[in-house]
């Protein structure tokens, strides 16, 4: 049994009134949502690293508090083992303190720090993200090609997640038929360029980001400039010529490409990263060496699509982008994830690199961009 007593919030507050030192051992971003009145904020890791600096007197009465009571008890036991003699932990932590109606205070912070801690608080709680990971997201650049069915949900969540620089390229304007699935646009946006409509909504969601709205058709003449400085490319296109172009450009510049496609009730997602891992993972051409005949590859305007399906696929794409930027988890590199909305089933297919691929085979020089429209229409 622990030798460190647990106090109710009321008992802890009574101890503080009589001179006990209350220490909140949560991280700074957690304390931003409110601290028990009278508490001193010292993160558990800092307290463990230099206990004598923060608590020079081993006989001082100290009460520790965290969010739920677990970390504070762990910290109290650590201090007890170091010779501190007058310790206690608040049972239920700040959650119980708040539930009991006891006073909370906001720690002193600048506006930017407060916004960061509050806006990304759920990310900051994840060990795989934390403050360093969130700062990495804020310093990242993503090119989103297309502000339509896939680009709309994907860019929404990338902006919400705090990807600091979004470059969105699309030459189309908003039509009323888009609104069934392209959720970034509104009825008031009909007739306006999609990239400007998207930028307005994204900046309303997260005004601290940089959103480049480029009303351009992506071609072999401008693709290199569009990829300049970006960390990941998200493919929200809906035609084969552009998919092949993005694949080739990403191989040339060694940038991962997050692919997505939808048709009627089915969708696909994968990550093509052959530019950085030649011979080990496939590229888009390894999967589709040649485009299918037009009759087997209709677009949404010709075949129709269930409105929520692009949302599903776009969110999966956004997830892959965040994993790549944070360098966590297992990206869909070398795997094709297929989704059947009618059966509500996911199927994963392993993909292998083509050793004879004209683009990504080891030792292959970049052949230059081709006439992709002619390439696709010829088949």
pLDDT in tens, 308-336: 999 999 999 999 999 999 999 999 999 99
pLDDT at 1: 44
State mean pLDDT over 128-149.
94
pLDDT band at 131 (very low <50, low <70, confident <90, very high): confident
Query: Structural domain tally of the chain?
Result: 2
Which positions are catalytic? 300
Q: Say if 269 falls within a structural domain.
A: yes
> Is there a single domain that holds both residue 271 and residue 354?
yes
> Is there a single domain that holds both residue 158 and residue 271?
yes
Residue 288 has pLDDT above 50, yes or no: yes
H-helix or E-strand containing 126?
none
Selection from 270, 238, 234 nearest residue 250 by Cα? 234
Count of CB atoms situated within 10 Å of the CB of 126: 13
H-helix or E-strand containing 237?
none
110: tokens are: 């600048």
> Is there a single domain that holds both residue 178 and residue 76?
no
User: For the chain, what is the mean pLDDT?
Assistant: 92
> Is there a single domain that holds both residue 218 and residue 83?
no
Cα–Cα distance, 282 to 240 (Å, whole number): 17
pLDDT band at 297 (very low <50, low <70, confident <90, very high): low
Cα–Cα distance, 85 to 58 (Å, whole number): 6
Strand partners, 212: 167
State mean pLDDT over 44-63.
91
Dihedral sign (CA 167, 172, 176, 181):
negative
**Contact between residue 123 and residue 133 where contact means Cβ atoms under 8 Å apart:** yes
Cα torsion for 22, 27, 33, 37, to the nearest 10°? 10
pLDDT at 378: 61
> Is there a single domain that holds both residue 92 and residue 133?
no
Query: Strands 62-65 and 21-24, how do they pair?
Result: parallel
> Is there a single domain that holds both residue 38 and residue 66?
yes
Residue 134 has pLDDT above 50, yes or no: yes
Q: Is 214 helix (H, G, I), strand (E, B) or coil?
A: strand
Cα–Cα distance, 154 to 147 (Å, whole number): 9
């Amino acid at each position: 049994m622990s030798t460190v007593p647990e106090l109710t919030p009321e008992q802890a507050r009574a101890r503080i009134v009589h001179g006990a030192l209350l220490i909140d051992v949560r991280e700074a971003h957690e304390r931003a949502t409110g601290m028990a009145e009278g508490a001193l904020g010292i993160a558990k890791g800092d307290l463990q690293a230099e206990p004598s600096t923060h608590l020079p007197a081993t006989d001082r009465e100290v009460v520790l508090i965290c969010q739920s009571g677990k970390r504070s008890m762990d910290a109290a036991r650590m201090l007890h083992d170091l010779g501190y003699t007058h310790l206690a932990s608040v049972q239920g932590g700040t959650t119980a303190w708040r539930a009991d109606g006891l006073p909370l205070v906001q720690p002193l912070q600048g506006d930017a720090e407060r916004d960061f801690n509050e806006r990304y608080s759920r990310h900051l709680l994840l060990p795989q993200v934390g403050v360093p990971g969130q700062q990495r997201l804020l310093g990242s650049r993503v090119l989103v090609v297309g502000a339509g069915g896939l680009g709309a949900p994907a860019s929404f969540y990338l902006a919400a997640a705090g990807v600091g620089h979004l470059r969105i390229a699309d030459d189309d304007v908003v039509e009323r038929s888009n609104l069934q699935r392209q959720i970034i646009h509104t009825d008031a946006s009909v007739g306006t360029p999609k990239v400007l409509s998207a930028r307005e909504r994204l900046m309303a969601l997260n005004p601290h980001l940089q959103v480049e709205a480029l009303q351009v058709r992506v071609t072999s003449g401008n693709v290199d400039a569009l990829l300049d400085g970006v960390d990941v490319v998200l493919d929200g296109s809906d035609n084969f010529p552009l998919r092949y172009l993005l694949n080739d450009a990403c191989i040339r510049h060694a940038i991962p490409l997050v692919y997505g496609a939808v048709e009627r009730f089915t969708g696909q997602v994968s990550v093509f990263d052959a530019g950085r891992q030649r011979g080990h993972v496939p590229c888009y051409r390894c999967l589709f060496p040649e485009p299918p005949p037009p009759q087997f590859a209709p677009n949404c305007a010709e075949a129709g699509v269930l409105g929520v399906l692009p949302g599903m696929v776009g969110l999966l794409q956004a997830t892959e982008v965040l994993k790549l930027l944070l360098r966590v988890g297992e990206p869909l590199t070398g795997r094709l994830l297929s989704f059947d909305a009618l059966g509500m089933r996911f199927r994963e297919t392993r993909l292998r690199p083509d050793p004879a691929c004209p683009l990504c085979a080891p030792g292959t020089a970049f052949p230059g961009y081709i006439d992709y429209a002619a390439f696709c229409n010829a088949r």
